[in-house]
Amino acid sequence: MAFIQIKDNQIELDEDGFLMNPDDWNEDLVAYFAKQEEVGEVTENHWKVINYLRDYFKKFGVAPMVRKLCKETGFSLTEIYGLFPSGPGKGACKLAGIPKPTGCV
């Protein structure tokens, strides 16, 4: 496990760089993770995916299936990969501050 310092907060990450505690998430972390995941500038489209993932996780305690993510956000899988080059499971979930989905390599 590792720790990062974001402003006045020390945040714990797991061995894959995901938040240990999703409640530690804040918007400042998005910029930090965006650099790590080579996302570039975080746009309104990124926020649409991030907010959807966060809301879904709050309701169900897991990340949505990729098919559901695409259907509900209106983005194709190709568009999701365009927004998050490391993919919906690794990149998008990391920026959203939710745990790494099971089965995600």
| pLDDT score of 7 | 84
The model's pTM is 0.92
Q: How confident is the model at residue 104 (pLDDT cuts 50, 70, 90)?
A: low
10/50 Cα distance (integer angstroms): 22
Q: How many CB atoms lie within 10 A of CB 86?
A: 16
Phi/psi-derived region of residue 56, left when phi > 0, alpha when psi is between -120 and 50, beta in every other case: alpha
Is 104 known to be catalytic?
A: yes
pLDDT (tens digit, 9 = 90+) per residue, 33-83? 999 999 989 999 999 999 999 999 999 999 999 999 999 999 999 999 999
The β-bridge partners of 10 are 5
Half-sphere CA count of 42, side-chain side, radius 13 A: 21
What letter does residue 103 receive in the DSSP assignment?
T
Q: Of the listed 13, 42, 66, 104, which one is catalytic?
A: 104
- Structural domains of the chain ordered from first start: 2-95 (1.10.10.370)
